[in-house]
Every structure is written in structure tokens, then in C-alpha cells.
Chain A
Amino acid sequence: MVAILAIAGLSLYLLLRQEVTDEINEQLELQAALIVEELNAGRTINFPLASAMEVPVSFSARKKLGDTLIYDRLQRKNEGYYYLSLTRKVKHRNYKIIVMTSYIGWQRYYQTIFFSFSAVALGITLIGVLLNYYSNHNLWKPFFLNLENLKRFSVSSPLPLQWHDSSVTEFEELQQSLKELTERSRREYLALREFTENASHELQTPLGIIQSKLDRMSQLDVDEEMAQYIVQAKSGVERLTKMNKNLLLLAKLDNDAFAEKQPLNLKELLENHLEQMSDLFEARNITLSVDASPLTIITDCYLCDVLLSNLLSNALRYTPSPGEVSVSLNHNQLIIGNPGQALDFPEQRLFSRFTKGGSHLQGTGLGLAIVRQICLLNGWIASYAYQGGVHYFTITFS
């Protein structure tokens, strides 16, 4: 814009200069011609700013166009003048004729153009900004708000998106399609989630029946073979129960049903867990090295409980006996390290559902998925590293 104006200004200046110079030249030529005519007629020269001087015949100056400064007594300063000097032969006598005319300094032209164009540029810019502001505000605002909304959209969010109406037809159409799209995906997601949760709930009661009947069977006087079958069936039910509970928890985590956050003394909770589990570790000949510094976080207590028990259960299960598990809590990280063989599956799948090492089929394969989900919900980062034969699980609290 400014560049266009600058170019326009410059070319105007140059054109104008060309035009004016040509005009002055023509005028001076005309004046000179008039003087020659007067000389031919034998009249004295009486033109303002003109002179004719007789010069020897041998003197022959070239026609010359130039400018000069002449002192103006009225204004008491030097003024710029254009002059044309030439020699002409009139009646065998040689005259040197000089005609002059004043001109407004190019500097002034230049300044005038510069200032007027600057004013135009400023005006245009100002109007442009105002127009932009207005159109942004009124035409684009709903669009950007909707875009922002869409970026934050998650099918699992508890409320449907709030759309901002626009007066532009295209935006209106776009908004309508997006509205339908998001609402459809939300509905489908909700149906799926409801199904998972209901299915898990509905499973609880039949599981309860199986478990109580198996308990009842174990009260009877059965032989050793029968007893074994009962124990195996029980262990299957147990796993199913645990898995079902974990699936329910995951469904609820997806549901974001845990909004009750409060300050929690993580060090205390961690120590409680370690105390509770100490004999479990002891029984497997695993020593615990604990280094915990005080840390208070804002979170849901129940979920934090689950997070710690899942991580510690994981360490308990996968540490070969005898071994040492290290637990450290610093100002923003919880690190649990347990020795063990390298993973026999890709590392990226570690926090996925139903991923478990080939040699450990007892787990539900949901523990670490729950850990990741809890971290996601709290804005924490769960990471894993394998260094020197030790698996490190790190939770970084934000």
C-alpha cells in the first residue's frame, strides 16, 4: 500500500517535473523567438527578465538551458530561475539572448507531493484498520470463536458445543454442518460409553452369583480333584471381576466423572500404600528403597489412590525375586524403578489397554492404561524408560 503510494508519488513527481520543464522550455523558446522578432524589427528589447547582447560574430555559443540564482530584493533572498541562453544572427549582427523565468523549487514540489501522499497513505491506512477491525469484529468473530471451540472439541466433553451465529451465509452453512457432525459423533460416543458402563454394571451381579455359589461349593465336603476345579473356576471369576472393575473405571475416566479435586498430601498417601504393601514385597523377597520428599497436589483422592496402587502393583508383579524396587518422589515427579527383562512388545504399547508381557498372563492388562488415563485427566505426564536393566515409570505432575 505504502509502496504503491510511494511509487505513485514518485512517478507523479517525475512526470510533473518532465511536464513543467518542457512547458518552461517552450515558454523560454517562445520568448527568445519574440526577442529575435523584436530585434529584426529594430526595436529595443524591453522584456522583463530578458536581455539581448551583441557579441562578435566569431562568438557562437551553443544553445544552453540552465538554472541560476538571482537575488530578490523584495523578498531578500535568492530565488531560483530557469534561463535559456542562445546566440542568433539578426541582420548580420550576432546577439546573445538570455531569457529567464522563475520556477518553484523542485524541493517544494517534492515536499508538497510527499506530504499530500503521506496524508493520503495515513488516511487509507486508518480507514483500512478501522474497516478491518469492524469486519473482524463482526464478520470473522463468530468464525474464529467457532474455530476455537472446534479445536477444543472432544467427543467426551460433558456439554455440547456452543456455536456463535454468523451473518455470513457460507459460515452459517459451515457451522450447521459442523454442528451436525459434532453432535452425531457425540451421540455415538455417548451411546458407546453408556453401553460399556452398562455392560460392566450388568456383569457385576451375575459375577456375584457365580462367586457366591463357588464359595458355597467350597463349603461342601469335596474331594481334592473337585477342590482344584473349584479353585481354578474361582481364580477365573476373580480375574473377570478385576477386569470388569477396571473397565468400569476406564469408562468412568473417559466419562470424566471425577471432578472433585482437592489438595492431597502425596507423600503421606505414598507412604500409606508402601506400608500397606510392605509385606507383599517382603514375601517376594523384594526390598524397597524409598526417597520421598513432601509434595502436595490438587487432584481426586480416589484416582490418585488407584494410580499409586496400579504403579506399585505393577512393580510388585514384574520384579524378579529377589530384587529391589526404588520409589522416589521429588518436587514434581514420582519415579518408580523396578529391575526386569526388557519388554517383549513395542514400548509404545506399554500404556495401551490389554497389553501384557508374554510370561505374565495373570494381570488384566489394564493397570497402566488406567495410569495413563488418570494422568491425562489431571494433565500429568506418564513416561517410561528402560535403563541398565531397570524399568523406570515416571509421573510428572504439572
Chain B
Amino acid sequence: MKLLLIEDEPMLLDEMEAYLIEQGYRCEKATTFAAGEDKIVLYDYDVIILDISLPGGNGLQLLQLLKKQQKEAGVLIVSAKDSLPDKLTGLNLGADDYMTKPFHLEELNARVNALVRRKSFKGNSQIQVDDLTIDPVAKTVSCNETFIPLTKKEFELLLYFIVNKNRVVSKQSIAEHLWGDHYDIVDNFDTVYVHTMNLRKKIVAHTGIDYIKTVYGMGYKFTSA
């Protein structure tokens, strides 16, 4: 999987690149409009992460260029602007997803992952972790042909953990992923705890393995070899 990251803020870019490489993607970077333009014209990518405000031009123009060249790449816009018109413009121009800065890297990874799955398998991908089989389309989890009954939130939580496995996922990040960032849930992390514990119990009951570890007060980590 080859990714192109177009973002003008080097510190953020490095962080994104480091995490996505960790997740097994090949990443290329561009920090200006011109550099992004060159790369888009010359090479093919599976997913392009695109910042809108770039030195030398607007990211949306790159998006138009990309569509004109009929490239297959999935496009995820990351913007400092949390505005609906921008989002709609982006999506209308053919972007697949839109995120507002600041974001959690786990969320970025989950979105990239979903995009890759949608693009490459037309959505028919199943994720296998040891004996666990996760079907993101049917939203089901099974262990050796036995379905594990999960609530909608528990399923989303599990998928989030698995996509970001071996990484400490913070409660904030989970809360935003599950409930969106509209709600003020800073003082409601108990709910994250409850969901995580329920999920943990169900998984342990079916597989006998405790994949989800608590990391001090920081969050949780899904570990698998």
C-alpha cells in the first residue's frame, strides 16, 4: 500500500508518517503545492492524505487535478477548517473522507484503513486476528465459526482497537471515535471504560485470550503477536 502525505507542517507530517509506516504502509511526503502536484502527476498512490491550505496553492486544486488525471487513489482531506461548506466542496470534488485538525493518529489510521479496505476489496474484506474473524461490512465478529454477540458500539470499539493494534489508544481518542466530537464527553470517560470492559469480557470468554490491556491511566492497548 502506497500513501502520499501532502501536509506543510513538518512536525505533524513526521508524526503521521512514523505511525503509518509502523502500520505497514509505504509513505511519501510532499510539503508544498508544487511538490504534491509533481508526485500526483508522476506516480500512482492508493491513498492520498491531503491538507487544504498549502504553501503555493489550495489542496482542493490538487484534488481536481487528481480527478482530471483519472487516478484511482482514495483521498482523505485533513484541514484546519472545520466548516461544512469546505467539507462538502471537498467531498463533491471526489474526496472520500474529511478530517478536521487536530486529530488523533489512531483516528487517521482507522480512516485510512477503512478507505484502503473500501478501495481494494470493494468492501469485502475480513480481518483475521488469531482465531477472531471480523467482518467490517456485516459488522460481525466470530471465533472459530461462533458468533460473538457484540453491541454496535462494542463492535466499533473492537475494530478501532484492531486497526490500531499494539498502540496505546487514549480514552479521548476512543470517545471521539465512538460518539463524534460534538459531545462534550471529557468528563464521561467512564463510559469508555464500561464499553471496553464489556468487550474485553466477551472476547476473553470466547477466545480465552485477553487482548486488551489497560495502560495506567492513559488508555488501552490491543496486543497480538
Closest-by-CB residue of B relative to A214 is B170
Q: Is B131 an interface residue (CB 8 A)?
A: no
Q: Which of A201, A211, A364 contacts B81 (CB 8 A)?
A: A201
- Using Cβ atoms and an 8 Å threshold, which residues of chain B touch A252? 83
- Using Cβ atoms and an 8 Å threshold, which residues of chain B touch A211? 102-104
Closest Cβ–Cβ distance, residue B150 to chain A (whole Å): 13
The answer for the CA separation of A202 and B101 in the assembled complex, in Å, is: 11
Which of A135-143, A236-244, A287-295 lies at the interface? A236-244
Residues 103-138 of chain B: 1 if any A CB is under 8 Å from the residue's CB, otherwise 0?
A: 111100000000000000000000000000000000
Which of B68-76, B186-194, B205-213 lies at the interface? B186-194
- Using Cβ atoms and an 8 Å threshold, which residues of chain B touch A235? 172, 186
Structural contact, A205 and B217, CB atoms closer than 8 A: no
- Using Cβ atoms and an 8 Å threshold, which residues of chain A touch B9? 205, 208-209
- Using Cβ atoms and an 8 Å threshold, which residues of chain B touch A237? 102
Residues of A in contact (CB 8 Å), total 53
Closest-by-CB residue of B relative to A258 is B84
The answer for the CA separation of A228 and B215 in the assembled complex, in Å, is: 11
Structural contact, B80 and A205, CB atoms closer than 8 A: yes
- Using Cβ atoms and an 8 Å threshold, which residues of chain B touch A96? none
Structural contact, A228 and B217, CB atoms closer than 8 A: yes
Residues 94-123 of chain A: 1 if any B CB is under 8 Å from the residue's CB, otherwise 0?
A: 000000000000000000000000000000
Q: Is B219 an interface residue (CB 8 A)?
A: yes
Q: Which residues 247-301 of A have a CB within 8 angstroms of B?
A: 248-249, 252, 257-258, 260, 276-277, 279-280, 283-284
Q: Is A62 an interface residue (CB 8 A)?
A: no
Closest Cβ–Cβ distance, residue A302 to chain B (whole Å): 5
- Using Cβ atoms and an 8 Å threshold, which residues of chain B touch A316? 183, 188
- Using Cβ atoms and an 8 Å threshold, which residues of chain A touch B182? 305-306, 309-310, 313
Structural contact, B179 and A276, CB atoms closer than 8 A: yes
Structural contact, B179 and A280, CB atoms closer than 8 A: yes
Q: Is B41 an interface residue (CB 8 A)?
A: no
Closest-by-CB residue of A relative to B104 is A215
Q: Is B184 an interface residue (CB 8 A)?
A: yes
- Using Cβ atoms and an 8 Å threshold, which residues of chain A touch B83? 252, 257
Structural contact, B217 and A277, CB atoms closer than 8 A: no
Q: Which residues 216-250 of A have a CB within 8 angstroms of B?
A: 216, 218-219, 224, 227-228, 230-231, 234-235, 237-239, 241-242, 245, 248-249
Q: Is B216 an interface residue (CB 8 A)?
A: yes
Per DSSP, chain B at the interface is mixed
Structural contact, B216 and A227, CB atoms closer than 8 A: yes
- Using Cβ atoms and an 8 Å threshold, which residues of chain A touch B195? 279
Structural contact, A313 and B186, CB atoms closer than 8 A: no
Q: Which of B80, B180, B194 contacts A204 (CB 8 A)?
A: B80
Q: Is A50 an interface residue (CB 8 A)?
A: no
Closest-by-CB residue of A relative to B192 is A283
Q: Is B85 an interface residue (CB 8 A)?
A: yes
- Using Cβ atoms and an 8 Å threshold, which residues of chain A touch B170? 215, 218, 234
Residues 153-195 of chain B: 1 if any A CB is under 8 Å from the residue's CB, otherwise 0?
A: 1000000000000011010110000011111111110110011
Across the A-B interface, how many residue pairs have beta carbons closer than 8 Å?
A: 126
Q: Is B28 an interface residue (CB 8 A)?
A: no
The answer for the CA separation of A283 and B83 in the assembled complex, in Å, is: 32
Per DSSP, chain A at the interface is helix
Closest Cβ–Cβ distance, residue A363 to chain B (whole Å): 6
- Using Cβ atoms and an 8 Å threshold, which residues of chain B touch A212? 11-12, 15-16, 102, 105
The answer for the CA separation of A316 and B153 in the assembled complex, in Å, is: 19
Closest Cβ–Cβ distance, residue A14 to chain B (whole Å): 81
Structural contact, A317 and B187, CB atoms closer than 8 A: yes
The answer for the CA separation of A277 and B185 in the assembled complex, in Å, is: 10
The answer for the CA separation of A45 and B183 in the assembled complex, in Å, is: 123
Closest Cβ–Cβ distance, residue B81 to chain A (whole Å): 7
Q: Is A63 an interface residue (CB 8 A)?
A: no
Closest Cβ–Cβ distance, residue A213 to chain B (whole Å): 7
Q: Which residues 1-42 of B have a CB within 8 angstroms of A?
A: 9, 11-12, 15-16, 18
The answer for the CA separation of A360 and B40 in the assembled complex, in Å, is: 49
Q: Is B82 an interface residue (CB 8 A)?
A: yes
Residues 345-381 of chain A: 1 if any B CB is under 8 Å from the residue's CB, otherwise 0?
A: 0000000000000000011100100000000000000
Q: Which of B82, B180, B217 contacts A245 (CB 8 A)?
A: B82
Structural contact, B184 and A367, CB atoms closer than 8 A: yes
Q: Is B218 an interface residue (CB 8 A)?
A: yes
- Using Cβ atoms and an 8 Å threshold, which residues of chain A touch B183? 277, 280, 309, 312-313, 316
Structural contact, B172 and A204, CB atoms closer than 8 A: no
Between A and B, 9 residue pairs with Cβ closer than 8 Å are A205-B12, A208-B102, A211-B104, A213-B15, A218-B215, A219-B167, A312-B183, A316-B188, A317-B184
Other than the given A245-B82, A257-B83, 6 more pairs (CB < 8 A) read A205-B12, A209-B15, A212-B11, A215-B170, A215-B173, A224-B216
